[in-house]
Structure 1
Amino acid sequence: MELVSVAAIADNRVIGDDGELPWPSIPADKQQYRERIATDPVILGRVTFESMLDDLPGAAQIVLSRSEQEFDVPTAHHAGGVDDAVAVAEALDAETVYVIGGAVIYDLFQPHIDRMVLSRVAGEYDGDAFYPVWDDANWQLESTTEYDRFRLEEWVRVAGAERE
């Protein structure tokens, strides 16, 4: 099973500000993001899950939460931590699972992910949520695609690289 982190990040690693994107909406980014994760399970934190209830991403949602253990959504599954989330994903027989935030979830999963798909939004923004720092020596930039207002980068963990 491949774990893939998907995020939109500014040059200063900001990913959010008070639960919102700190930059004006980028429809092309939202579209490619939604299409990428549409048919696979996603791992996300409870706050992120609750913020997306009106338009849930992924085929199933694995929600990390210390408090909530039941959700009124048939496709939502509870996980108490990283190992539990991976076990739920394996039970769903998933080939690919996307880690979609928030900041604490990205940080918890950074040592475990195999690939990062990052929408790089030009500029530095004020915010209170950041994408984790990674060691470039452990990652290889596999592809870059330029879009209007963002650049999509796909990073793959180098075989045998130390897990951060």
Structure 2
Amino acid sequence: MELVSVAAVAENRVIGEGDEVPWDLPEDKKQYRERVASHPTIFGRRTYEMFADPPGSAFVVLSRTEREYDRENAYHAGGVDEAVSIAESLGADTAYVLGGGAIYHLFQPHLDRMVLTRVPGEYEGDTFYPAWDENEWLLVETEEYENFTVETWERKHGDKA
């Protein structure tokens, strides 16, 4: 199972303020949804509940408390291993980790790739993408857009937890 995090990250690593993203980049939302559309996505409960229409083909929601969800393709997971098992049970070869901050932090040692939208500037926020050791990662692709850049990072072999 390949685990890939997808996040929009400001220069100061901010990814959110409360339950909001502090910028509006419609073109980024479009490429983000297209990227994850046919794959299971993994969220923390609060991030999942922010979406009226969550992206992805199935939704694995990490929460300390067992919950029921309104969608038949939403599944509860108590931790990283259970979330990965659920995604694998759905026949997926890739699952996308979509936040929030604590979920990105939990999954960071297990990721194979990161697809990061680099948002220019520093923003006020209370949620951050975790720092990572760039020596463990290789920048393999950069896509330039008008107001942002999308970077794809791959973990170097042997560095995954």
Return the TM-score normalized by structure 2: 0.97
**How big is the shift at 1:162?**
5.3
1:64 to 62, 78, 86: 62
| Structure 1 segment 80-95 matched on structure 2, within 5 A | 80-95=78-93
Distance of 1:158 and 1:149 partners within structure 2: 29
What's the counterpart of residue 34 of structure 2?
Answer: 35
Q: 1:162 to 1:57 in 2, by over 3 A?
A: closer
> CA separation in 1, counterparts of 2:134 and 2:127?
21
Structure 1 match to 2:8: 8
Give the 3-state SS of the residue equivalent to 1:55 in structure 2.
coil
Superimposed CA distance per residue, residues 64-112 of structure 1 (whole angstroms, 9 cap, x where no aligned partner) = 0112421121010010000110111111110110000000000000000
* C-alpha distance in structure 1 between counterparts of 2:70 and 2:145, whole Å: 37
Distance of 2:67 and 2:60 partners within structure 1: 11
Q: Secondary structure at the match of 2:140?
A: strand
Give distance in 2, aligned partners of 1:130 and 1:117: 15
Q: Secondary structure at the match of 2:125?
A: coil
Residue 161 of structure 1, CA deviation: 2.0
The Cα shift of 1:2 comes to 0.5
d(CA) in 2 for partners of 1:3, 1:161: 14
| Residue in 2 that maps onto 1:145 | 143
Give 1:135's aligned residue: 133
Q: Choose the corresponding residue for 1:123, options 121, 124, 127.
A: 121
Corresponding residue for 2:109?
A: 111
Counterpart CA distance in 1 for 2:159 and 2:3 is 15
Distance, in Å, in 1 between the alignment partners of 2:153 and 2:159 is 13
Structure 1 gaps, min length 5: none
Task: Among all aligned residue pairs of Structure 1 and Structure 2, give the percentage whose two residues are the same amino acid.
Answer: 59
Report the more deviating stretch, 77-86 or 62-71.
62-71
Q: Where in structure 1 do 4 or more consecutive aligned residues deviate above 4 Å?
A: none
Indicate whether 1:100 and 2:98 are aligned. yes
Alignment-mate amino acid for residue 38 of structure 1 = A
Taking the aligned partners of 2:123 and 2:80, their CA distance within structure 1 comes to 29
How many positions carry a matched residue from both structures?
Answer: 161
